Amino acid sequence: MTIMWFDNLPPRSTASFNDLAKKFLARFSIQKDKAKHAPSLLGIKQGDRESLHSYIERFNKACLDIQNLPIEAAIMVLINGLREGPFSHSISKKHLTTLNEVQEWAEKYINMEKNSRLGETSKTGLSYPPRDKEKESRKKEDQPTKKPRKYHNYTPLRVSLMDVYREVCNTEKIPPLT
């Protein structure tokens, strides 16, 4: 693009290098991105329905646009932009010193968010009606939990359980364990 502009300059339209530099800046300074600074991150907030993963991803992309970003400022702004929730409460109690530590700590909560969303979708995706808990609890009350024992006292064994097992295996009624 720059070479095309240079080639299309009219012949003898520049008298000096300073003249060429002024024309160049006049043409291309419009396309120059405005320099971003750390305070520009203050506008990045986690949305009400935005996942922690997408918020951190958006925040990291914005950090890439800022040169010489102090790590402490980035962490402070990231925490400040979080909405109320388990992650914002837990990270405010931690003293994390690098963005990598913050990312590792956030991964735990990102996984928890994903798991809870999976649980919600599986609950809402049921094609059968939910069980009636009252009926189930009545059925459980009506049925005894264990059968009562026939005898209260049993004859003690004179041989070990291992000997009993060997004897049963030798009768060929039960196949041996492999």
Name residue 102's amino acid.
Answer: V
Residue-level pLDDT at 144: 59
Query: Who's near 58: CB < 8 A, 6+ residues apart?
Result: 44
Per-residue pLDDT of the chain (178 residues; tens, 9 = 90+): 677 777 778 888 888 989 888 888 777 666 555 567 777 888 889 998 898 899 989 988 888 877 778 888 888 888 889 988 888 888 888 888 888 888 888 888 888 888 887 776 655 555 555 556 666 666 666 665 667 777 777 677 788 878 877 777 777 665 556 5
Name residue 69's amino acid.
Answer: L
Residue-level pLDDT at 45: 92
Helix (H, G, I), strand (E, B) or coil at 111: helix
- Pairs from 63-66 (Cβ < 8 Å, separation ≥ 24): 63/99, 65/33, 65/36, 66/36, 66/37, 66/38, 66/40, 66/41
Residue-level pLDDT at 26: 76
CB 82 within 8 A of CB 55: yes
Query: Who's near 168: CB < 8 A, 6+ residues apart?
Result: 174
Residue-level pLDDT at 139: 61
Single out the residue of 11, 34, 13, 35 nearest to residue 23, CA to CA.
Answer: 13
| pTM, full prediction | 0.49
Here the tokens at position 125 are 């995706």
Residues of the chain with CATH 1.10.1200: 38-124
- CATH fold of 38-124, please? 1.10.1200
Query: Who's near 97: CB < 8 A, 6+ residues apart?
Result: 71, 72, 75
